[in-house]
Homo-oligomer: A and B are copies of this chain.
């Protein structure tokens, strides 16, 4: 693997290898083991053209734990302020000596463009409404660790699917790992053409699922929050009470509490949200390490 731009190029054995490696790395971190500094002397550039806390810090720490030098491009202080093109900014960061580029941008396809422009390994840390591959990977790690495996799980991805890059990656990754995915939400937010089942009535399936994966209503991408949405698709306590024993709730954060997820559900033992975050650093360490090795 040269870059991680999309989960679409990854087959089941690729995904399983990444999940297994990340889960082992998580165990090592929990034990307090120091990771091998496989990126010592290498440089990871964090190019976040959109605001981000969890993903940026997670990549930052993952790279540091592997011994890398980390440089961060802060959109607020970037030369694009001087009218420089995105391509020139990226080529400059590459020429400065970035060995791996981590890219988030609100336009679809920018990470791919960065890979094309620079010839360097690139990790897509979220591009517009398209993909967020490391999120899907860390979610798979979370499922693997909690359920012992992803295969056979019935998972509902609920909400603003068309505006969600998280959904964009989950839709491929989870079925490839053998999960049975159902998309749930208002018709307007569902893809016109989907390889997986689409349903507009959450209540009809909430009792059958092993996992309810709630998507953030992307108000900054045109999503509108209204009472009807909350009533029909929000996971409130009464609805959550109908979930199967052992069924779990996931959310990639940041959560709109009281909208797609009720306070009480977010705080309940069903919530895997913190586990998802915890699995982010080890997952990104495994991806960075892999790209740093230049493995194929």
A residues lining the B interface (CB < 8 Å)? 29, 32, 34-35, 40-41, 43, 45, 48, 51-54, 56-58, 60-61, 64-65, 69, 71, 73-85, 88-89, 91-93, 95-97, 219-220, 253-257, 274, 277-278, 280-281
Contacts and interface: CB of A to CB of B under 8 A. Distances in A.
B280 A83 contact: no
A61 B45 CA distance: 10
A76 B51 CA distance: 8
Contact of A280 (B65, B82, B96): B96
Contacts of A32: 41
Contact of A77 (B29, B45, B52, B281): B52
A54 B60 CA distance: 19
B65 A52 contact: no
A101 B52 CA distance: 19
**Within the oligomer, what is the number of copies of this chain?**
3
A96 B80 CA distance: 30
B29 A34 contact: no
Contacts of A95: 274, 277-278
A256 B79 CA distance: 12
Contacts of A97: 29, 61, 278, 281
17 contacts: A34-B41, A51-B78, A52-B77, A53-B77, A53-B92, A56-B77, A58-B96, A82-B254, A83-B219, A83-B256, A85-B257, A88-B253, A88-B254, A88-B255, A89-B254, A91-B274, A95-B274
Nearest to A60: B71
Contacts of A255: 84, 88
Contacts of A80: 53
Contacts of A65: 41, 69
Nearest to A91: B274
Interface centre among A65, A71, A91 (most CB of B within 10 A): A71
